[in-house]
Chains A and B, each alone.
Chain A
Amino acid sequence: MGEFLKFDNALWQRVVSLLEYDAASPLTLTTGFFLFAFLVFGVGYLMVRGRAHLRTLYVVLFSLYFYYKLSGLYLLLLLFVALSDYLIGRRVYCIKQRGGSGGGWVALSVVINVAILVYFKATNFFVDLVNGLYAEGTLDWESVVVPAGVSFFVFQSIAYVVDIKRGVIEPLRRFSSYLFLLSFFPKMFLGPLVKAKEFIPQIEAAKATVTREDFGRAVALIAGGMIKYAVIAKAIGALFVAPAFAGKLGDGGFVALMAIYGFTLQIYCDFSGYSDIAQGVALMLGFRLPDNFDAPYHSATITEFWRRWHISLSTWLKDYLYISLGGNRCGSVRTYLNLILTMLLGGLWHGVGMTFIAWGLLHGVALALHKVWLKVVPGAKSVGAQMGVVCRVVATLVTFHIVAFGWLLFTADDMTVVGDMLSRIAYNFSFEDVALVVEGSAVAFVIMGVGYLLHAMPRRWDEALRRGVVKVGVVGQWLIMVAAIWLVMECGMLLAAETGAGGGLPMYAAF
């Protein structure tokens, strides 16, 4: 025991160095560092939570520090975006009060934000493109490092200005409140994007209250999210998907197909797990973030899928891109085009490249086709709940496969990988492989099976589980949380030992 608690003299140096930004270990909600930081933060938070202004300042300061630990000096970019849109928002509001439109200022805000996004997202792509077309070194440009969560705070900021222009909200009076909206640490990194109209009242509320039920639900969200994100997603990725894509498991069609199914579960567990944690942490502080996922693979149509997958982004795309393009108000052809264009831009938002263009097109065209289908096929339904059982099962399977093969486009490095995987499935599929592959990656298949089984559970079971966590009381919640953390750490060590894979960031951190 004495051995275990023995630290060497350099302990304090190490503590200090841990507090500094380290590009190799950025801060996320699942690091041990966050657990300790949250304790320290919590003590102060209890003292200030009853005073709106002080609370806002306190949370903003911690959020900014959190961002610094995550992304270093890009903190200044976050501050710049916040300041510019805070001022533009006020300006637009003044002009509107005087009867003007303020459109020019909104355009300026959009241009600034989109320019930031394009610079960080597309520079590397164009430099590579030019150097590929001409000669290496034609453009001598250090690769651009994308700031963490840049797409999230830029989108949040555009929405704020547009909402003011549309008269949905009034501008915030204090700059600190606006910083809070933009940088609230649970959601800053990977969302969910919040609707200003719903979130601002929470910032301005007199007291941040947390009920017993809130607390229990928060524990359920965090523990469940950690298991989804750091156990299921990480294990499937390291044990099966990554080696399968790298060709380590042979070139059989069965492996390729399973890799696609595996990735489909992996990306859901990774992203929704992290979203759940964010929601849970916010809830512990008395803030309600919107749901970002609603059992997306239960969807029976592609339209339904986009109402259940990354809800805050698809809502954003609908509100600020699709509607701005004219939505469905300009005739059916324009509606389809707008849908396709929206999804295409949504695809490009994830990254500039052929695979993302193809992915966006696939979803845009599928959405448009589904709209046509609803129009021409009598009795066609837009969501699964309205369908008969057989119809629903078939439709769910079809939708699942469109989405799953869409993920192949999404995750592949380039189109040759896509072609390669598809041709393996089409021409090199052998049932003889099945037993061998399943036996070889038994653990991964068990986890995948459990993951899909959990996902297939009816939503009310999920709800019942959360209510159960609320009911077991605080000691039970403590046991659940400690067990979840232990599982995550154990899994991390096992994976590191088994495959050499490190902890890493959420997949969506790249977008």
Chain B
Amino acid sequence: MKNRDSAPRIVWFTLAVIVGVVGLGFVPQFSLFGMTIERVDILSELRDGAADELVEYEADIERLEQELAAMSVVEEVVVEQDTLPELPPVRYEWVAGEVEPLEVRPLSSEALRGALSDAVVHIEDFDTLATTRLEQFYDKLASGESVRIAFMGDSFVEGDILTSDLRAELQGLFGGRGVGFVACDIPFATVRKTVKRTSSAWSAYSVMKPKSVPQDMADKFFVSGYLAKGGVGATTRWQTTDAFPTLDSCTRARVLLYSRDTSVVELMLNDSIPHSVEVAADERLREIYVEAENIASLRVKVAKGNILCYGVSLESEGGVAVDNFSVRSNNGHAIFGTGAAINRQAHDMLGYDLVVLQYGLNIMQKGQRGYSNYRTQLCNMIAYAERCFPGAAILVMGVSDRWVRSDESGSYVPIGSVDALTSYQRAAADSTKVAFWNTSQAMAALGGMPAFVANGWAANDYTHINFKGGRKVAEAMVAAIVEPVYDILVQREEESARLDAMRRAKALEAERRLDAQMKMVMSVADTLFAVEESGDEVMEDSAEELSEVVSDNGEE
């Protein structure tokens, strides 16, 4: 019995296994211990991937419409606020120390020259406004006004890769301090060289796992993607680091929070100065605004009630702030899961001038064929971002260069779909009249992915750049941003030089004429004296001449 031939099993067992696995395809997606168990589909290679994409896309659109509908309701509430002055404040200020007023330092084109590059890949601006939103952004930079950038991306910029150097370069050129927005708590640990964060006793949620989020918080996400709910005792401490020269201290800390009930938040500045804030119950996003000469750390602790805390913005008066909003494995669609009203209120508080959308790497990796649906989806993301951040310029970053193993050999070849996806992303930017920057072209100018790997700028998966690579891409991006600002400055400097020259020429002319008049007066005087000796006739002529000169002079 034991040694009976079982060879026929290889056929019917394999058949049964196939039937079993195909059968698993009928098990719908379900949730287990907070994890989403996806439907498996062994026949997927036979299926048209585009159809699934379409379903997903339609679901997103539906959500978008609901969100927008919800937003208009909130807008009405905001309008009511004007007639109801007893509403609690949106901003709780704590001035812990005098901050010296910012001295506006005039910016010269000379100071920007170092950031220019001959091989610059220009930002393509499809905006059709007379002065495009991107031009307004450049203009603000050139005028030394403060600007704020929301950099939304996936794991490509996680840990402040790229954005830390973008921030450092821009702050070096245009001023400003601080790391910008930092989350309060994230459901998994991440490490950022640019800021230290320790959190405890919060329940942290991610916009990527909507099923795990309590119902009453579902519409409360900000584009930061992470939300922390904390009762009494929940604590977070943020500490600056000296990873970059402009980060070791700052002068403003703004804690963004939401408190449906009256709560008390205890603050501790630089581990030494305590302060307590009672946040009245309200349905709007609020901020606790801390100002001090030298903010090196800030701790918040919930002492009463409970709050939803988004995070803190560490910044300064003036200059550039760059907020890194990276959400792992986000294709950009997570924006539909963020609350339009919350985003809008945060925008009103913080004032974004530029919103960067860096996505697509994951789309490409999934090997999807049809990018046209993705383009439509991207257009909707852009539309959503425009609703949330009105007035801000929107910049779509093209997908970065990526190479894959051609087969078992270990040799890498370009993935091929980079150019295809890039052109779809550009098309989306074009049709929605926003700006586009071709990341892969900028990387190609630096030698492409093989050079990135060879120089140790990217991981050997030929996909993810590291901090060194991030610096290179950031430099290329800064070059693209700085060039138009440089042009504006050069133009302004030329203009003012021209005006100066004109003024000088006018002054010279005036001087020359004054000289001439003086000479004439002198000569008339001479003549007069001469007349005293010789007769009256000449004197009358000269007097006429003199009065003419004087009246001329008066008009001058």
Q: Which A residues lie within 8 Å of B6 (CB)?
A: 210-212, 214-215
- A71:B407 contact, CB within 8 angstroms: yes
- B42:A32 contact, CB within 8 angstroms: yes
Q: Which A residues lie within 8 Å of B3 (CB)?
A: 211-212
Contact with A along B15-53 (1 / 0, CB 8 A): 111101100111000000000011010110111100100
B17, B18, B24, B463: which has the most chain A beta carbons within 10 Å? B17
Contact with B along A238-274 (1 / 0, CB 8 A): 0000100111111110000000000000000000000
Q: Which B residues lie within 8 Å of A10 (CB)?
A: 48
> Could you tell me how many residues of chain B have their Cβ less than 8 Å away from some Cβ of chain A?
64
Q: Does B408 contact A (CB under 8 A)?
A: yes
B interface, over-half SS: loop
Q: Which B residues lie within 8 Å of A143 (CB)?
A: 411
Contact with B along A111-140 (1 / 0, CB 8 A): 000000000000010000000000000000
B168-196 at interface with A (beta carbon < 8 Å): 188-191, 193
Q: Which of B102-110, B216-224, B361-369, B491-499 contacts A (4 or more CB under 8 A)?
A: B361-369
A440-B7 contact given A14-B45, A23-B407, A413-B460, CB 8 Å threshold: no
Q: Does B5 contact A (CB under 8 A)?
A: yes
Q: Which B residues lie within 8 Å of A14 (CB)?
A: 45-46
Q: Does A437 contact B (CB under 8 A)?
A: yes
Contact with B along A159-178 (1 / 0, CB 8 A): 00000000000000000000
- B26:A4 contact, CB within 8 angstroms: yes
- A490:B408 contact, CB within 8 angstroms: no
Contact with A along B454-475 (1 / 0, CB 8 A): 0010011101101100000000
Cβ-defined partner of B328 (8 Å) among A15, A42, A498: A498
Q: Which of A369-377, A386-394, A478-486 contacts B (4 or more CB under 8 A)?
A: A478-486
**Distance A26 CA – B408 CA, assembled complex (angstroms):** 8
- B409:A145 contact, CB within 8 angstroms: yes
User: In the complex, what residue of chain B is closest to A190 when comparing beta carbons?
Assistant: B408
A76-102 at interface with B (beta carbon < 8 Å): none
- B46:A493 contact, CB within 8 angstroms: no
Q: Does A323 contact B (CB under 8 A)?
A: no
B3, B158, B409, B411: which has the most chain A beta carbons within 10 Å? B409
Q: Does B410 contact A (CB under 8 A)?
A: yes
A18-B45 contact given A416-B456, A478-B20, A499-B329, CB 8 Å threshold: yes
**Distance A437 CA – B188 CA, assembled complex (angstroms):** 9
**Distance A148 CA – B410 CA, assembled complex (angstroms):** 10
A335-384 at interface with B (beta carbon < 8 Å): 351
A interface, over-half SS: helix
- A146:B410 contact, CB within 8 angstroms: yes
- A436:B366 contact, CB within 8 angstroms: no
B7, B8, B15, B460: which has the most chain A beta carbons within 10 Å? B7
Interface size, A (range): 35 or more
Q: Which B residues lie within 8 Å of A45 (CB)?
A: 10
B9, B40, B48: which has the most chain A beta carbons within 10 Å? B9
Q: Does B406 contact A (CB under 8 A)?
A: yes
Q: Which A residues lie within 8 Å of B47 (CB)?
A: 7
A500-B7 contact given A39-B14, A248-B159, CB 8 Å threshold: no
CB distance from B361 to the nearest CB of A (A): 6
Q: Does A465 contact B (CB under 8 A)?
A: no
Q: Which A residues lie within 8 Å of B48 (CB)?
A: 7-8, 10
Q: Which B residues lie within 8 Å of A11 (CB)?
A: 46
Q: Which A residues lie within 8 Å of B10 (CB)?
A: 38, 42, 45-46, 210, 215, 284-285
User: In the complex, what residue of chain B is closest to A411 when comparing beta carbons?
Assistant: B460
A144-B45 contact given A474-B13, A486-B40, A500-B362, CB 8 Å threshold: no
- B37:A42 contact, CB within 8 angstroms: no
- A145:B15 contact, CB within 8 angstroms: no
Contact with B along A467-511 (1 / 0, CB 8 A): 000000010011001100110011001101111111011000110
Contact with B along A417-448 (1 / 0, CB 8 A): 00000000000000000001101111000000
CB distance from B179 to the nearest CB of A (A): 16
B31-85 at interface with A (beta carbon < 8 Å): 37-38, 40, 42-43, 45-48, 51
- B7:A210 contact, CB within 8 angstroms: yes
CB distance from A166 to the nearest CB of B (A): 32
A1-49 at interface with B (beta carbon < 8 Å): 1, 4, 7-8, 10-11, 14-15, 18, 23-24, 26, 32-33, 35-36, 38-39, 42-43, 45-46, 49
**Distance A361 CA – B102 CA, assembled complex (angstroms):** 62
CB distance from B239 to the nearest CB of A (A): 13
- A215:B189 contact, CB within 8 angstroms: no
Q: Does A70 contact B (CB under 8 A)?
A: yes
Q: Does A225 contact B (CB under 8 A)?
A: no
B190, B193, B408, B461: which has the most chain A beta carbons within 10 Å? B408
**Distance A10 CA – B46 CA, assembled complex (angstroms):** 9
Q: Given A39-B11, A498-B328, 12 more contacts at CB 8 Å?
A: A1-B26, A24-B404, A35-B17, A36-B18, A39-B18, A146-B410, A214-B6, A248-B155, A478-B13, A502-B367, A505-B407, A510-B408
* Pairs across A and B, CB under 8 Å, 22 listed: A18-B45, A23-B406, A26-B407, A33-B45, A38-B10, A38-B14, A43-B11, A46-B7, A49-B7, A211-B2, A215-B6, A215-B13, A242-B461, A248-B464, A248-B466, A413-B460, A436-B191, A441-B189, A477-B13, A485-B17, A485-B20, A494-B38
Residues of chain B having any CB pair with chain A under 8 Å: 2-11, 13-18, 20-21, 24-26, 37-38, 40, 42-43, 45-48, 51, 155, 158-159, 161, 188-191, 193, 328-329, 361-362, 365-367, 404-411, 453, 456, 459-461, 463-464, 466-467
